[in-house]
Amino acid sequence: MELHLISLLLFVMTFREAMGNHIPASSTACHLFTKYTTDDGQTCLTNSDMSMIMSRYVNGDLKLESKNGNPVSLSMTSCSCLGSFYIKDTMSSLYTQKTVNLHPHGQLRTSNCGDFYMYNINGLANYINSQNTVFCLDVGNRCTSLNASGIVTDDSLKSCAEVQPVLMESEDNTQLEPVFLCIFPPISDDGVYDVSWFINDEELTWAASHTVLYADVNSTALRPSNWTGNYSLNFNVACAVRAHNTSTSLSGPWYTSPKFFAGIKTEHQTYDVIEGVTSQIALASTIPFSCPLSLSEEMREAFCTYYFYIWTPAENSCRNGMAGNGIALTNQPCGVTFNFRDWGDRSVYLNVTGYVDGMINYNDRTTSIYIQSTRNPMDQKGIWDNLKVDNIQVKVTDRDRFVTGRQCLSSNDPHMTTFDGRRWENQRTGIFTLYQHETLPYTVHVIYSECVPRHATCNCGVAVRNGFSFYIVRTCEMISLESTKMLSVPYEKEHLCDTTDLGIVKSGRHYTVTFPTGTQVTFGISYSNSFIGSVRIRASVADIESSVGLCGYSNGDTSDDFIPKDGNNPTDSATFALSWRIPMNSNDSLFSNSSSLLQDTALTYNTNVPSDAVTTYCTCAQSGPVDTYQFVLPNTAHCNMTSPSQLCKEDNTVLTLTSCLHSEKRRKRFTGDTDDVKMESELTYDPDYNESAIIEIGGWLDKWNETSARAFCLRQFDLDPAVDICNRLVNISKDSFIDDCVADIKLSGNTSFIQDTLDTLKGVCLTEATRNEVFYVNQSSETNNLSIFEIISSFLCPRNCSGNGACVNATCSCFDGYLGYDCSGNLSIPPHNFLLPTNGLCDRSSRQCAKTNIMGFFHTENVTAKFAYFKVNSPDIQNSESVKTETATFHHFNLISVQIPEPPDTTRRKRSTKADQTIHGWNISLSYDGNVYSNHVSLLIFDGLVYNCDVQTLICHSSKTISSSSTSEKETKFVEITAGAVTGIVAVVIVAIVIAAVVKKHQKKKNAVAITMPTSILRKPVQPSTRHQFEDSMLPDIDKSGSKPFSMPPEKSVISERPDFDVFSIKSPQTEFNSPPLKTII
């Protein structure tokens, strides 16, 4: 059938060229048909109509007309008739046949007979009778008389016309350009014709032609020069024809053609898509495209391409870290491309995916798609300029309801819940894969280590990875089954190749990491200990039947949750858990410094370089179109996404791609801010760690039993109003959490985990509440115009604000004098237990030493730092004394940074080479209220190219060569500089550079430095600074070379054997009390 149609079309095209694009009526059988008259205004061809047609069957073709003689045609658009068919295709050219496509399915043979169409009766009968349906009708004059009353005309001179677009040479013979021909049959051999043109019912008088012979009708064509500049495409064009009989001198009436739509059209104006699912929208051009005449056919197809810009209205909303939107385009930028031959029956397609917004929508979302032309260099006459396509309406059907309540939990010691709600226990140590996406490079690893020796393990590390980007938080230094070794402050490591890879939000002790799909990882550090209270992962629609790991297979069926790694069938919980445990010291762990998951060779995925194997998406939200030929450039920031969704910030700013085009560039460390130094800590295993050892859950401890533990837990849950609110409004049952509370008491023998369990319930409740749009839209006077979410969240603050604040939107607003995310801090109690990176040593050869990070626990963003200056008392640098204050920059509850002040008296005489070798520093103390300050930590600034300072002892070795007139041998002198501290409101720093040694080639000879230490210092033990208190947990091990830590010498004098050594002393800043100055005796 298709071969027959192709042969017929080729014949018709060849014959048309020979006849000047006209075919005589005798070439088709338009005179043989069955005629059926419909009622006036009839809109459907029904089963009863078909019975009457079949009873008068003459041949295989049918002509429809109304009672007044006007032609009736099958509609090309839908109608209100129930179960109707209509033509979803373009009709055949004049005096040709064509098998057209029908909606919703099927085909029908048609014939174009000039002023009416004919339809195959058997085809109509097949659909109407066998499928009990109807066909939509269009009633109207295909050929309308324009004759004014009172003018004598010959009605037999009827010339019904049709507009037909063709590709013709331009008048200057440089271009192939689209023109409109007015096609009509001749009335006689001695006829001449007048032709007029109309665009949108407006007559183009300058384009009219008069008394034209039929052989010259092509000269009446409507060319781009007739309308460009005055009209933009996507208009309706029609022609009117009047015939004159030169023999009788009579004229026929004017007859106008049906309107022809010229431009870009779609099959429908409204489409339905499903969230996260891709559908196609067909676009068709009804006219051909221009192209230089000089190009070959192959070059025309390659270079004469036309681009149309596509955009959707921007919503400017941000919830749960996800930007609001309607749709995303799949595997194409914000535009569509038509090649030279893509017109007429050839359509191009928009791949439209329902945008994933991570919300259970109150109503189905709706958006519009706008199509705008761009300036094309091949379009020299501006034919496509300012194209106005009617916007396409798209309704997005929500799928987030299918993942309601799907939260994977790893809480306390640890109690596990899969996405589908299956609960189980995992009292094991090690690193586990909690979550992994099957097709996207998303992974979450967790660490379980001992928290109750030989009884229970707890969460102490979370690593989240998307491709080459990752975020790690860890609170334990070592994985063990028998001992607990925690870090002083949480260790954090972050590497984001693109800001679109992970959305990271820190709020107090709570962390939220969002994948581009909307899958969200939430965890928090316990208020009662240093462990991570719970890790929660909220599934997105992208996780449906696509998740593996301890969270299980997210499909709503708990029976297949325990599918082991590299397995297909579910198993028992122990086998399942161990299969997802990462072997000890394996590089498969995200916590490993050489993780294979983050190496270029292990992953070919690249978010910025789309490939055929990776589906990418573009969101094209704009406030308006972009008038440029390179239409894709303004939208590249929203393209190449791996999911039909976007991350955003709280200020509605959409996160955009950065310049990570190649994986090797991604891995380079950023060197712009050399002072952004944080603590480094490598995860280790207990030397006695036995990977095969298991925890045997024993009986009850410390006189607890099932009854007393459950009674305690019920009482605590009843005292917290959030439990009841979450149960009634968000459908979060307390039962499973009470079971966890009872299990915690049994494992630990105490109630220390109760607050973490309550916080986990509140976290689950808050996550579900934030995902339900209905909670945001319902407000009433009965609730003081608060939304349901505002009511719910007012009960979900951490630790109920410790009774020292009000809860608003799950955030504490502390009363005067209190601070902190739970209002547990006191304004007059300064920060304590804080650390400086690299143990307070700042090497000017590798850092700018203009600012420093400070790690600790900070209750508020308002932290003041006090700096007390100290320096070496050398001949080349003047002694200075200074105390300055700076406002710290707050980054997170465990990280602030401060600008290091300029040293005082920086204006000096001309420097010698030693001036660049200055060793000086600041004692830094912190305060919340600006009045009461903490004990200090010391920051020592030095040049690492000149001195080698030990990070544990604060001893610096300076090497220099000395010439001697009596010997050719070289001597090497060592200067040891030590910094000590005496606690007080403002610290006193005493640094002595004391010991010199001369090393000769054949013998060693010691030089002694005589130092007298103040009695007050010697009798009062020096308190170690904060950094020394935490060296065992956070800082590198002591130098393996054998250097001993600094210790104060006894109070005695040692006579130097040689006077040729350097003695520096560091003077203390002015304080409320001062120790006696350091005396040096030689």
Tens-digit pLDDT profile for residues 905-948:
655 444 344 445 678 888 999 999 999 999 999 888 888 888 87
Residues of the chain with pLDDT under 50: 1-28, 141, 148-152, 600-612, 629-637, 652-671, 874-879, 908-915, 961-1082
The answer to whether 1051 and 1015 have CB atoms below 8 angstroms apart is yes
Which pair of tokens denotes residue 1006? 């010691």
pLDDT at 882: 76
Tell me the three-class secondary structure of 540-609, residue by residue: CHHHCCCEECCCCCCCCCHHHCCCCCCCCCCCCHHHHHHHCEECCCCCCCCCCCCCHHHCHHHCCCCCCC
At 127 the three-state DSSP class reads helix
Tell me the three-class secondary structure of 734-762, residue by residue: CHHHHHHHHHHHHHHCCCCCHHHHHHHHH
Nearest to 1061 by CA among 1011, 1013, 1009, 1012: 1009
The answer to whether 937 and 1025 have CB atoms below 8 angstroms apart is yes
Phi, psi of 225 (to 5 degrees): -65, -20
At 615 the three-state DSSP class reads coil
Q: Alpha carbon 931 to chain centroid distance? A: 44
Q: How many CB atoms lie within 10 A of CB 478?
A: 19
The answer to whether 496 and 502 have CB atoms below 8 angstroms apart is yes
At 99 the three-state DSSP class reads strand
Nearest to 680 by CA among 517, 853, 552: 853
- Give the whole-angstrom CA distance, residue 287 versus residue 262: 6
Residues with Cβ within 8 Å of residue 393, at least 6 apart in sequence = 269, 270, 271, 366, 367, 368
- Give the whole-angstrom CA distance, residue 145 versus residue 148: 9
Which pair of tokens denotes residue 716? 């605590």
The answer to whether 519 and 746 have CB atoms below 8 angstroms apart is no
Q: What is the DSSP string of 266-280?
A: ES-SEEEEEBT-EEE
Nearest to 153 by CA among 232, 269, 268, 245: 245
CA dihedral angle for residue 963, residue 964, residue 968, residue 974, rounded to 10 degrees = -60
> What are the helix and strand counts (H, E) for the chain?
15, 72
DSSP state letter for 801? G
Give residue for tokens 């050719």.
Answer: 968
- Give the whole-angstrom CA distance, residue 925 versus residue 902: 17
- Give the whole-angstrom CA distance, residue 1041 versus residue 497: 38
Q: Is the dihedral of CA 742, 743, 748, 754 positive or negative?
A: negative
Phi, psi of 601 (to 5 degrees): -75, -15
- Give the whole-angstrom CA distance, residue 499 versus residue 618: 16
- Give the whole-angstrom CA distance, residue 475 versus residue 532: 8
Phi, psi of 896 (to 5 degrees): -130, 170
In single-letter form, the type of residue at position 1043 comes to: S
Which pair of tokens denotes residue 150? 């009172």
Q: What is the DSSP string of 430-493?
A: EEEEEEEESSS-EEEEEEEEEEETTTEEEEEEEEEEETTEEEEEEEESEE-SS---EEEEEEEE
Give residue for tokens 């043989």.
Answer: 32
Which pair of tokens denotes residue 333? 């930028």
Check whether the bond before 903 is cis (ω within 30° of 0): no
Q: Return the bridge partners of 360, or none.
A: 772
- Contacts by 958-962, CB closer than 8 A, 24 or more apart: 958/917, 962/1060
At 94 the three-state DSSP class reads coil
DSSP state letter for 300? H
pLDDT at 49: 83
Nearest to 616 by CA among 200, 278, 264: 278
Q: Alpha carbon 10 to chain centroid distance? A: 51
- Give the whole-angstrom CA distance, residue 557 versus residue 536: 19
- Using alpha carbons, list the distances in angstroms from residue 1019 to 917, 935, 1065, 1067, 1075: 34, 20, 21, 21, 13
SS3 content of the chain, % helix, strand, coil (to 5): 15, 35, 50
Q: Return the bridge partners of 442, or none.
A: 466
DSSP state letter for 1072? S
Tens-digit pLDDT profile for residues 80-92:
777 788 888 877 7
CA dihedral angle for residue 1051, residue 1053, residue 1056, residue 1061, rounded to 10 degrees = 40
The answer to whether 255 and 144 have CB atoms below 8 angstroms apart is yes
Helix (H), strand (E) at residue 109? strand 107-112
* Residues belonging to the chain: 1082
DSSP state letter for 360? B
What is the chain's alpha carbon radius of gyration, rounded to the nearest angstrom?
A: 42
- Give the whole-angstrom CA distance, residue 867 versus residue 857: 20
- Give the whole-angstrom CA distance, residue 1017 versus residue 161: 112
Give residue for tokens 């007309």.
Answer: 65
- Using alpha carbons, list the distances in angstroms from residue 908 to 738, 904, 943: 70, 11, 19
Residues with Cβ within 8 Å of residue 579, at least 6 apart in sequence = 564, 565, 566, 567
pLDDT at 65: 84
Q: Is the dihedral of CA 759, 765, 768, 774 positive or negative?
A: negative
In single-letter form, the type of residue at position 911 comes to: R
- Using alpha carbons, list the distances in angstroms from residue 110 to 181, 455, 487: 22, 82, 81
Helix 735-748 to helix 706-719 angle, to the nearest 10 degrees? Answer: 130
Q: Is 596 exposed, middle or buried (0-12, 13-18, 19+ CB in 10 A)?
A: middle
- Give the whole-angstrom CA distance, residue 452 versus residue 265: 69
Q: Count CA atoms within 13 Å of residue 174 on its CB side.
A: 5
Which pair of tokens denotes residue 1023? 């308190």
Q: Indicate whether this model's pTM tops 0.75.
A: no
Q: Return the bridge partners of 888, or none.
A: none
